[in-house]
Structure 1
Amino acid sequence: MAHKISLINMKGGVGKSTLAVNLAWHFSAYTSWLKKVLVIDLDPQFNASQYLLGPDKYLKHVVTKEKPTVYHVFERYSPEFKGIDLDKAIKNITENQSGGKIDLLPAQLELAYTLKNPSDKARNLKEFIDTVESEYDVIIIDCSPTDSMLTEAAYLCTDHVLIPVRPEYLSSIGLPLLYRSILDFKEKYKKHPIEIAGVVFNATDDYSPEENKSKKNVKEVCKNLDIKIFKKEISFSRSYPKGARENAPIFRTSYARYDRSQEFLNFTEEFAKEVGIS
């Protein structure tokens, strides 16, 4: 079975999509892993989809071609989409001769419409993933920063939750809400295993004393909730948005600093060990 990981924080702007995409690239490309990875974009803003495909390819291969996306997975039983071929929903992004690859189940803006009538749709994603899971080693789900039917759908497909936190004012505001959301889910689905892998400090910049105060606040909340904080942090770098424009991970972004690339690799290794990805 694939390792299924959701990146969630109930606060936006913490770099979930950037982290999700770069984790996918590391797991697929580095010889330490060479995994077959599926990225699922569960955010109506579809940032992960554009990061992996680029705006032009996204428009050409998703919107213009009117190919199915995760939106159609949720709406699969709607009369409007009766008979739609969901096998065409997954797009290949990259594949190497050593066996690693990245596939994408993209999102589109219309995914927000699903939230207007969410009844009995949360299980649709799991039903779909159950049909393709055997083809992958790792499944990474990039979630939207709200507690909704999409969140429940992600939980149903998740083994471990990774929480990116940007150490700034109000950085811990989403942690208690997320923790409560997972407890409520566990109460509703008692047989479904889901665990919080931990918090990673993302986009750190050593701006003292504000960053230190924020980190201290997050650490206090995590201690009270018994949530692990990863030792390896990911520093702010302009190479990440540049990489999004180039459709490239940090280790292939032009002129990216070696220490920033190595930093993300170090975190990936720590995270992989925590969740059992060998």
Structure 2
Amino acid sequence: MGRKLCVINQKGGVGKTTSVMNIGIGMKNAGKRVLLIDLDPQANLTSALGFQPQQLESTVYEWMKGETSFEDTALEYQGLYLIPSNVELSAADIELSQVTGRELLLKKAMDGVLDRFDCILIDCSPTLGLLALNALTAVHEVLVPIQPEYLPLEGVSYLMRTIELAQQRLNHDLKVGGVIVTRYDGRRNLHREVVDIIRTHFEDKLFNTFIRNNVALAEAPSYGKDIFTYKPDSNGAQDYEALCKEILMREVV
């Protein structure tokens, strides 16, 4: 069975969508069959891959509810597939609040396509509500991107408690697959200090590859491209390629 991962952090601006997009492409470049799922009402992943969210008739919301098929929802980009999102997903917490098994909707939708993919990667919204619970119920591994500054670090303990609750109540197989340091600048004392704190707290969960601060990573989504397509020789492309190799080598037990 393929790997099921979500990238989650309730703090915005830590490189969550950038990581999903470029890890997905990196996995595809390594020969894996990849599905990306945009589970964020802001639809940043959908937009970053060059699609227009408000022009889509079928999105992850309809797919989760069983109102549309995978074939009618999935979009293709550079050899991988995307289940897109748009702003209608923001109604999920209210509309699904009375639905029985509401935390299992995404898992049930994913179960129908597991045999098609080696890697399914979910981009979560920057909130820890029903959508995040759906992601945490549907996957086996959580990847946590952290910007090496104190404010982004403060919210991680709350995120860890949410993951622990999901483990206890909804998904006993759930594990923290790794912590990704993003927007890293080794010349800054603050970044080095925060990384030392992260390493002390997470130990072997911290990936050795840090995603360096790189202008090309910020520019690529505005062109609807991943970093490997936009600037394959950039530090961003090198870092995400190295990170993908680590993820592929790392077994969650």
TM-score, normalised with respect to structure 1 = 0.83
Q: How far did 1:161 drift? A: 0.6
User: 2:253 matched to 1:273?
Assistant: no
The one-letter code sitting in structure 2 at the alignment partner of 1:172 is: L
The one of 149, 154, 174 equivalent to 1:194 is 174
* CA distances 1:226-262 after superposition (whole Å, capped 9, x unpaired): x6111111101111122112333222214x6444422
Match of 1:105 in 2: 83
The counterpart of 2:149, out of the listed 144, 153, 168, is: 168
Match of 2:78?
94
The DSSP-based 3-state class of the residue aligned with 1:230 is coil
- Separation in 2, partners of 1:2, 1:25: 16
Q: Which residue of 2 is the match for residue 99 of structure 1?
A: none
Contact 2:38 2:84 in 1 (8 A): yes
Matches within 5 A, 1:209-228: 209-222=189-202, 228=205
CA distance in 2, matches of 1:234, 1:34: 22
- Cα deviation digits, residues 175-227 of structure 1 (max 9, x gap): 2111111111121136x41110121111112342222232233334435xxx6
2:35: which partner in 1? 38
Structure 1 residue runs without a partner (length 5+): 77-82, 96-101
Show CA shifts across 1:107-160 (max 9, x none).
111111111233332211111111111111100001112111111110121111
Looking at structure 1, the residues matched to 235 and 41 of structure 2 have their Cα atoms a distance apart, in angstroms, of 33
Match of 1:63 in 2: 54
Alignment partners' CA distance in 2, 1:259 and 1:94: 21
| 2:218 pairs with one of 209, 228, 241 | 241
When the two structures are aligned, how many residues end up with a matched partner? Answer: 249
The alpha carbon displacement at 1:93 in A equals 1.5
Look up the equivalent residue of 1:43 and give its one-letter code: D
Equivalent runs, 1:138-153 vs 2, <5 Å: 138-153=119-134
Structure with the larger helix share: 2
1:135 to 116, 120, 126: 116
> Aligned with 2:158: secondary structure?
helix
Q: What is the DSSP-based 3-state SS (H/G/I as helix, E as strand, rest coil) of the residue aligned with 1:172?
A: helix
The residue that corresponds to 1:17 in the other structure is: 17
Greater Cα offset, 38-47 or 258-267: 258-267
Q: CA RMSD in A?
A: 2.0
Q: Secondary structure of 1:124's partner?
A: helix
Could you tell me the percent identity over the aligned residues?
A: 27
Q: In the aligned structure 2, how far is the partner of 1:231 from the partner of 1:156?
A: 27
Report the CA distance shift for 1:213/1:156 in structure 2 as closer, same or farther (over 3 A): same
Name the counterpart of 1:156.
137
Alpha carbons 1:11, 1:173 under 8 Å: kept? no
Per-residue displacement from partner, 1:58-115 (whole Å, max 9, x unpaired)? 23xx533x42101113444xxxxxx5445311111222xxxxxx10001111111111
Give the conservation status (yes or no) of the 8 Å contact 1:7–1:162: yes
Unaligned segments of structure 2, at least 5 residues: none
* CA distance in 2 between partners of 1:118 and 1:195 (Å): 26
The higher radius of gyration belongs to 1
Distance 1:103 1:180 in 2: 32
Distance 1:264 1:74 in 2: 29
Give the AA of the match of 1:237: N
For 2:85 and 2:39, the matched residues in 1 are separated by 6
1: CA distance, partners of 2:226 / 2:156: 27
Q: Aligned to 2:120, what secondary structure does the other structure show?
A: strand
Aligned to 2:63: 73
TM-score (ref. length: structure 2): 0.90
